[in-house]
Amino acid sequence: MTAPAQPLCIGNVTLTSRVILAPMSGVTDPPFRRLVKRFGAGLVVSEMIASQAVVYASRKTLKRSKAALDEQPAAVQLAGCEPTVMADAARICRDLGAALIDINMGCPVKKVVNGDAGAALMREEALATRIMAAVVKAVDVPVTVKMRTGWDDGSRNAVALARIAEGVGVQAITIHGRTRNQFYNGRADWSYIRRVKEAVAIPVIGNGDVTDEDAALSLLEESGADAVMIGRGAYGRPWLLADVAEFLSTGRRPAPPALAEQRATVLRHYEEMLAHYGHDAGMRIARKHIGWYSKGLADSAAFRARIMQETDPEAVKGMVRDYYVAASDRQAAA
């Protein structure tokens, strides 16, 4: 099976492929989203933003957020539990350039669910309904919802909530095939995603444990979903989404980029993180990405240890260059 040839539309937004980058706090920041989009992704979604923070943001913060929405179509994910605040935040994001607003109903983290946001909304169907309806009413761009299968095994209500969402005008649903109480344990249940797909007519995006082309195809086959969302599989592989899209539409399996190209990608990503966050935060945040990029390559543990200790960005760039040149030489000699 290959993905349907016609493009997927979410409301008035047409996606360039059926492979979507998951929102991930601390990972899918503007530099990473830009990179993934440049390689090729149907859609990239912002990290979750607290709706309160948007509503009470300073002008300076909002200006920075606007600059972060330069990759169109930009999808902004909002978290929160008050319908009016969520609606106001959605309106502000829309004015800043968001082409889609996504509502977070899947975050399992205590700090978030204790405020009745994220996955906690799955246990509060009436409140969830009011939030979805308020956000849909507030903006003229498509509103989507990302949820889990339910709170726990005894209360898997994503089918019911998806029906409610469709009824109040939500235009697509993403299902991560785990309950809140599973956090990230066990396997994502792709067959449950099929139950949601069969319950609604709006597009359903399947998510959970897709790390390569075969898994993407299996998820789509098992769930019947209209698109696949990839999160952790893209760590250190911003090209993965483009490769999966290519495989789904042609059956061809692209080879990973040559090491010289990987080196150029890491260095460009590094520069963009420094420019986005400034020197100190940029260096700190970049370390985990550089670690992910080098995973699986020879001597990567020693390389990572060196990177962790270095505090001069020019020295880090030199280490990256040397490491990838050595890896290429080794590959050529093998």
Catalytically active residues, by annotation: 107
Q: Select 118 or 282, whichever has its Cβ closest to ligand FMN.
A: 118
Q: Select 66 or 232, whichever has its Cβ closest to ligand FMN.
A: 232
Rounded to 10 deg, the angle between the 30-39 and 259-277 helix axes is 150
Residue 48 within binding range of ligand FMN, rule CB under 6 A = yes
**Where does this chain touch ligand FMN (CB under 6 A) — which range of 20-28, 51-59, 162-170, 286-294?**
20-28
Cis peptide before 31 (omega within 30 of 0): no
Residue 218 within binding range of ligand FMN, rule CB under 6 A = no
With CB under 6 A as the contact rule, the residue among 76, 164, 230, 290 that binds ligand FMN is: 230
State which of positions 58-77 bind ligand FMN (CB under 6 A): 77
The neighbour count for residue 13, using CB atoms within 10 Å, is 18
Q: Which of 230, 27, 10 is nearest to 102 (CA)?
A: 10
Give Cβ neighbours of residue 323 (< 8 Å, ≥ 6 apart): 294, 297, 299, 303
Shortest gap between Cβ of 178 and ligand FMN (angstroms)? 7
**DSSP string for residues in 140-179:** SS-EEEEEEEESSGGG--HHHHHHHHHHTT--EEEEEEEE
Residue 26 within binding range of ligand FMN, rule CB under 6 A = yes
- The dihedrals phi and psi of 3, each to the nearest 5 degrees, come to -65, 150
Rounded to 10 deg, the angle between the 279-294 and 313-333 helix axes is 10
Residue 78's DSSP bridge partners are 49, 103
Shortest gap between Cβ of 130 and ligand FMN (angstroms)? 20
With CB under 6 A as the contact rule, the residue among 9, 16, 24, 55 that binds ligand FMN is: 24
With CB under 6 A as the contact rule, the residue among 146, 194, 237, 269 that binds ligand FMN is: 146
What span, in angstroms and rounded, lies between the C-alpha atoms of 169 and 156? 22
Q: Select 34 or 176, whichever has its Cβ closest to ligand FMN.
A: 176
Tokens of 205: 């995006």
Residue 83 within binding range of ligand FMN, rule CB under 6 A = no
Residue 232 within binding range of ligand FMN, rule CB under 6 A = yes
Contact 16, 33 (CB under 8 A): no
What is the pattern of x (binds ligand FMN, CB under 6 A) and - over residues 179-208? ----------------------------xx
- The dihedrals phi and psi of 262, each to the nearest 5 degrees, come to -60, -40
State which of positions 237-266 bind ligand FMN (CB under 6 A): none
Residue 130 within binding range of ligand FMN, rule CB under 6 A = no
With CB under 6 A as the contact rule, the residue among 22, 78, 98, 290 that binds ligand FMN is: 22
What span, in angstroms and rounded, lies between the C-alpha atoms of 188 and 175? 10
Residue 142 within binding range of ligand FMN, rule CB under 6 A = no
Shortest gap between Cβ of 149 and ligand FMN (angstroms)? 11
Shortest gap between Cβ of 104 and ligand FMN (angstroms)? 5
What span, in angstroms and rounded, lies between the C-alpha atoms of 143 and 45? 12
Residue 176 within binding range of ligand FMN, rule CB under 6 A = yes
Q: How many CA atoms lie within 13 A of 129 on its CB side?
A: 9
The residues of the shown chain that bind ligand FMN, judged by CB under 6 A, are 22-27, 47-48, 77, 104, 106-107, 146, 176, 207-210, 230-233
